């Protein structure tokens, strides 16, 4: 069994194997261009483009829970989510479980983490980024390391656990991070996996 993080071929092959992830990358990239051409990473501009401002969501602008997940606060923020989150983690998960199940987990985690941000964050704090959904993918990969060991190598399992540890530390230590969004994302991805990924009890016990 080869590593789930191994990618072969060109962009056309990548799209064929991970169509939903590919579309997510394209949308995020287009939204980065929109941000850069409409005022940059200023909070006012990010709110205008759909960032989560809890007070506005509570007032009825629920669509912000979705649109905020396609906005980023800097080039570094965008690059890290695209390279690590989508190109690496999300594409691996999509190839392992299929596009429909991946979409359920990714968008489900996006919505749940967004709701958590609205309920648990300061009413006037702007939150943007794909991290909640990406942490959902990471939570699903965690589920696979525990309940579907037949789908993944031991080395990949160790890599996933290492990424989780690093990201949890980073979530609580770094400034400007949505703790509620990250925690809700990884928890929802793990729990949603129970719905669409069958557990292999024999593998768990052995």
Q: Which residues of 37-71 are buried (b: 16+ CB within 10 A; e: fewer)?
A: eeeebeeebbbebbbbbbebbeeeeeebbebbbbb
Residue 206 annotated in active site: no
Catalytic residue among 18, 131, 157, 178: 131
Q: Is 184 within 8 Å of 116 (Cβ atoms)?
A: yes
Catalytic residue among 90, 180, 182, 193: 182
Residue 182 annotated in active site: yes
Angle 154-173/179-196 helices, nearest 10 degrees? 150
Cite the active site residues: 131, 182
């Amino acid at each position: 069994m080869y590593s789930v993080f191994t990618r072969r071929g060109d962009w056309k092959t990548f799209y064929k194997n991970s169509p939903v992830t590919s579309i997510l990358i394209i949308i995020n990239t287009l939204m980065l261009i929109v941000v850069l051409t409409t005022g940059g990473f200023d909070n006012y501009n990010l709110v205008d483009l759909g960032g989560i401002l809890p007070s506005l969501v509570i007032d009825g602008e629920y669509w912000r829970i979705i649109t905020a997940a396609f906005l980023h606060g800097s080039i570094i923020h965008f690059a890290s989510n695209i390279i690590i989150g989508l190109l690496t983690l999300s594409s691996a998960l999509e190839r392992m479980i299929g596009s429909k199940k991946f979409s359920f987990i990714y968008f489900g985690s996006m919505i749940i983490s967004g709701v958590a941000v609205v309920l648990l964050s300061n009413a006037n704090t702007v939150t943007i980024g794909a991290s909640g959904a990406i942490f959902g993918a990471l939570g699903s990969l965690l589920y696979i390391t525990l309940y579907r060991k037949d789908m993944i190598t031991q080395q990949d399992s160790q890599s996933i656990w290492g990424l989780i540890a690093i990201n949890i530390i980073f979530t609580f230590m770094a400034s400007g991070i949505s703790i509620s969004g990250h925690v809700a994302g990884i928890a929802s991805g793990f729990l949603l996996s129970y719905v669409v990924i069958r557990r292999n009890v024999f593998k768990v016990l052995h």
